[in-house]
Amino acid sequence: MGYEDQPKRVSTTENEKDIHTDFTNNMTYGEYLQLDKILSGQNRLSDHHDEMLFIIIHQVSELWMKLILHEMTAAIESIEKGEMQTSFKQLARVSKTQAQIIQAWDVLSTLTPSEYMEFRDSLGQASGFQSFQYRLIEFALGYKTLHVLKIYEKDVELHRQLQDAFKSPGLYDVAIRALAKAGLTINPDVVDRDYTIPYEQDQSVKEAWLKVYQNVDQYWDLYQLAEKLVDIEDWLQQWRFRHMKTVERIIGFKMGTGGSSGVNYLKKVLDQRFFPELWDIRTEL
């Protein structure tokens, strides 16, 4: 069969006659996503090839954290309103997003110690320790330390935003309120506590959650809420562990660029607990 006898190959796009190609007066995909801003923000401070990886991994993680905060803030509001089913969807999305952000460490771990040392000095004192979104996530989970606010005094509006979050009830606070609203006995000092102080375990909260798990049919919504909270803390601790091991793999036990003790600091935060009673009752069930 000669060339002229061969069937004409038609591209997939040629078969799609309704695909829009004229965007003279219409918004494009890139314009909607503002890709010009997003893709122009990867500015290396060194000439080293692998700094691009380092920048993109951290930018992507910050985008995922923005989504986590978006959903977590909405979930806190939903629980306060008693809209439990809505909060479950929001909290489930938080957990799925956490799974994505954990995988970023697998990509960053392709960076070797020798490669990182080629551009590490370019970072100066900039460090992931200074991530304000990560602080907002910690605040939403009830872990609050006053001294970290000083890091953000350079930006007045950002500092105000963090101060507001610092004073606001977190996810576990509204969950405990939900226990009280359901008629379970909760220590009033816990329900109306000072939210700027890190949460401490309370026997009444432990007994309330224990009753929920022992009477699942009666407290089905609270039971689902408890498991969503456990999911979130579980994923967060897995993220922290992968963070610690990736840092150890790349810089060993060197001090962090932000002045922290590096791996030693990251090991310590693995001991932090956000919803302690939900873990403790598992031993007693």
Q: What is the three-state SS of 221-267?
A: HHHHHHHHHHHHHHHHHHHHHHHHHHHHHHHCCCCCCCCCCCHHHHH
Question: Who has greater pLDDT, 75 or 15?
Answer: 75
Band (pLDDT 50/70/90 cuts) for residue 235 is: very high
Residue 27, helix vs strand vs coil = coil
76 is in an annotated binding site: no
Indicate whether 39 pLDDT > 70.
Answer: yes
- Report the distance separating Cα 56 and Cα 40, nearest Å: 11
Indicate whether 223 pLDDT > 60.
Answer: yes
Indicate whether 131 pLDDT > 60.
Answer: yes
48 is in an annotated binding site: no
56 is in an annotated binding site: yes
152 is in an annotated binding site: no
| Average pLDDT score over the chain | 92
DSSP code, position 8: P
- Report the distance separating Cα 115 and Cα 107, nearest Å: 14
Indicate whether 12 pLDDT > 80.
Answer: no
120 is in an annotated binding site: yes
High-pLDDT (> 90) share of the chain, %: 77
pLDDT single digits (tens) 159-215? 999 999 999 999 999 999 999 999 999 999 999 999 999 899 999 999 999 999 999
Domain 48-283 falls in which CATH fold? Methane Monooxygenase Hydroxylase; Chain G, domain 1 (1.20.58)
57 is in an annotated binding site: yes
Indicate whether 1 pLDDT > 60.
Answer: no
58 is in an annotated binding site: yes
pLDDT single digits (tens) 88-128? 999 999 999 999 999 999 999 999 999 999 999 998 888 88
Q: Which of 182, 237, 247 is nearest to 208 (CA)?
A: 182
Indicate whether 243 pLDDT > 70.
Answer: yes
Question: Who has greater pLDDT, 120 or 253?
Answer: 120
